[in-house]
Amino acid sequence: MKYNLLLTGKPGIGKTTIIIRLVEILKDKLRIGGFYTYELRKNNIRTGFMIRTLDGKEALLASKSFKSNYKVGKYSVNIKAIDNVMVPSILESLEKDLIIIDEIGKMELFSENFKTAVLKALAKRKVLGTIMLKSNEFASKIKARNDVKVILVNEKNRDSLAEEIIKEISL
Domains in the chain: ranges and CATH: 4-36+79-168 (3.40.50.300)
Mean pLDDT of the chain: 95
Q: Are 34 and 120 in contact (CB under 8 A)?
A: no
**Inter-axis angle of helices 161-168 and 15-26, to 10 degrees?**
50
Residues shown for the chain: 171
Helix, coil or strand: residue 127: strand
Q: Are 93 and 99 in contact (CB under 8 A)?
A: yes
Within 10 A of 78 (CB to CB), how many other CB atoms are there? 24
Structure pTM? 0.95
| pLDDT tens-place string over residues 7-26 | 999 999 999 999 999 999 99
| pLDDT tens-place string over residues 121-156 | 999 999 999 999 998 999 999 999 999 999 999 999
Q: Are strands 148-152 and 4-8 parallel, antiparallel or unpaired?
A: parallel
